[in-house]
Amino acid sequence: MNIKSILAKYLKKIVIGVIIAVVGGVIVAVIVSTCIPPKPPQPVPSLEMPLEIVGWRLWGGLQAEVSGNTVILNGRFDKNAGFKFTTPLNTTLRNKTAVLKIKNREISDFNNNAMLKITINQGDTLTPLRNVSNLIYDEYVPDWHDRIEFVLPPVFDGTFGFTFADAQLNRFEITLFYRN
């Protein structure tokens, strides 16, 4: 055997080895990529701004403690009771999303799970909710929701309120925010 044939033989073995290594690497990459789930897309942070409670009135025996954008409600009533802003909210909130974060709903008691009704504008209009699809009596948010979102309509006049029916509220806390 001459040197050329020996080099050709080893070169052939090296080329075959490289091809096997590349093919093996591709196979391993395919297997790994199908076995490891991709990272879920990260949610875009939403800037929630506090929706300050400036002036309000209570009716139906409801009691309230207000601080900044949070109201804590207490009371026992068989009929309707409510909380309404008396200082209208800024109408620049039109088309923005209002967010209500609710705490202590589990230590309050709501007849038939009907937690609260949200009304806007002077005529106490119900507004469609983004994250609550089935309302009790077609008006009341069920008591298992701890976050409620809705868009303030283009005709929002700044009036906003909550109504409760036949409930026992125990440090029932609502914190209000808005976002674009």
> Which helix or strand (DSSP H or E) is residue 20 part of?
helix 3-35
pTM strictly above 0.85: no
> Which helix or strand (DSSP H or E) is residue 142 part of?
strand 141-142
DSSP state letter for 103: E
DSSP 46-80: P--EE-----EEEESS-EEEEETTEEEEEEEEEEE
Beta-carbon neighbour count of residue 57 at 10 Å? 12
Band of the pLDDT at 139, cuts 50, 70, 90?
A: very high
Beta-carbon neighbour count of residue 158 at 10 Å? 17
Which residue ranges make up each domain of the chain? 1-42, 49-179
What pLDDT digit, counting tens, does each position of 92-130 carry?
A: 899 999 999 999 999 999 999 999 999 999 888 888 999
Q: How far apart are CA 59 and CA 25, in angstroms?
A: 73
Least confident of 50-59, 102-111, 168-177: 50-59
Integer-rounded Cα radius of gyration of the chain: 31
One CATH from 2.60.120, 3.40.210, 1.10.3470, 1.20.120 for 49-179: 2.60.120
